[in-house]
Amino acid sequence: MINFATVGTSWITEEFIAAGKTNKEFRLYSVYSRSIEKAETFAAKHGAEKYSDNFKNMLADDKINAVYIASPNSFHASQAIDAMNAGKHVICEKPAASNLRELDKMLECAEKNGVLFMEAFKSLLMPGFKACKDSIAKAGIIRSVYINFSKYSSRYDAHKRGENVNTFKAEFSNGAVMDLGVYCLWPTVALFGMPKDVKAFGITVPGGVDGAGAALLLYDTFIVTLNYSKVSNSFIPSEIQGEDATVCVDKFNIPEKVTIRYRNGTTEPVLFSQRQDSMCYETDEFISCIKAGKKESETNTHQMSRNIMILLDEIRKQTGIVFPADSM
């Protein structure tokens, strides 16, 4: 059994725990929250033996093997480094850090301590993404790509009312490109590699972050258009357009439907089997890497994390989004 500690008590941590419990090697052992009341309630709800509001004290427990980090983005680097310095394997929610400088410190720490570090990006590990990747050859020469993730934030109304929410604050290193645009960047780089050039545009909201944005990524024979928003909804699927066919993906964050539409008008559904608890694929990958003694996932590689952070930094630079973490 691998004893996990979790950081954060939001819905995403609950989904991680639920997915983890479907793996026979997973055991929820300890939970951390800045609020001891929340930590105790969360531990009782999910069956954790331990709970704490002191992160370093929690890490001193030798029974903890791995830590899942789902705190605000600005805390990822310091918490991951503390955990890895304590000899714990770390799986960290995306984006892994506020910027490339932080991420490189995290990766150096993982290497120094001989522990596994993995960014928790589930989509590349899902059968739906693999089905999309395997279908691209049928499209012929790629000419245009459109990848979209726009979802109205459940916290945006409260933000507009002036309530003190964390979702749209530069001090927490969040915003549209960090929280949703990252879901567009990962599949782009995984499928096509790094672009030759990037042009980005953003719409800022009070709090110093972007509420929505778009980016154009230039490749040899095509341009990828990324569209992402936390202040509006979109119901348009993503497309990989080739000279012979277009591969349509319902949504790249959780790809559940992939269809090939040929130029002659015929349509081919791409069949695959996929679990509903979509986070199971990242928990299984992480646990498998630990059991195999690996220090890096072969899919969610350290270089992929670096490439994504390079692009996030560039998009923020072009759109004028600056975090306090950038000057630390």
**Domain extent listing, the chain:** 2-121, 124-278
Write out the H or E segment, with its range, that includes residue 109: helix 100-113
Sign of the dihedral defined by the CA atoms of residues 287, 288, 293, 298, in that order: negative
Q: Which two tokens stand for residue 81?
A: 């480094």
Q: Is beta strand 223-229 parallel, antiparallel or unpaired with respect to 117-120?
A: unpaired
Q: pLDDT tens for the chain, 328 residues: list them.
A: 999 999 999 999 999 999 999 999 999 999 999 999 999 999 999 999 999 999 999 999 999 999 999 999 999 999 999 999 999 999 999 999 999 999 999 999 999 999 999 999 999 999 999 999 999 999 999 999 999 999 999 999 999 998 878 889 999 999 999 999 999 999 999 999 999 999 999 999 999 999 999 999 999 999 999 999 999 999 999 999 999 999 999 999 999 999 999 999 999 999 999 999 999 999 999 999 999 999 999 999 999 999 999 999 999 999 999 999 999 8
Distance CA 293, CA 289 (A): 6
Distance CA 180, CA 36 (A): 30
The DSSP code for 236 is P
The amino acid that residue 141 corresponds to is I
Determine the 3-state secondary structure of 77 from DSSP. helix
pLDDT at 248: 98
Is 252 in contact with 187 (CB distance < 8 Å)? yes
The amino acid that residue 282 corresponds to is E
Write out the H or E segment, with its range, that includes residue 120: strand 117-120
CA 233, chain centre distance (Å): 19
pLDDT at 102: 98
Write out the H or E segment, with its range, that includes residue 117: strand 117-120
Distance CA 206, CA 69 (A): 27
How far CA 274 is from CA of 23, 124, 201, 230, 255, in Å, comes to 16, 13, 35, 27, 9
Is 149 in contact with 184 (CB distance < 8 Å)? yes
pLDDT at 166: 85
Q: Is beta strand 245-249 parallel, antiparallel or unpaired with respect to 238-242?
A: antiparallel
How far CA 118 is from CA of 43, 194, 281, 290, in Å, comes to 24, 20, 13, 11
Distance CA 135, CA 130 (A): 9
The class that CATH gives domain 2-121 is: alpha beta
Please name the fold of domain 124-278: Dihydrodipicolinate Reductase; domain 2 (3.30.360)
Is 211 in contact with 175 (CB distance < 8 Å)? yes
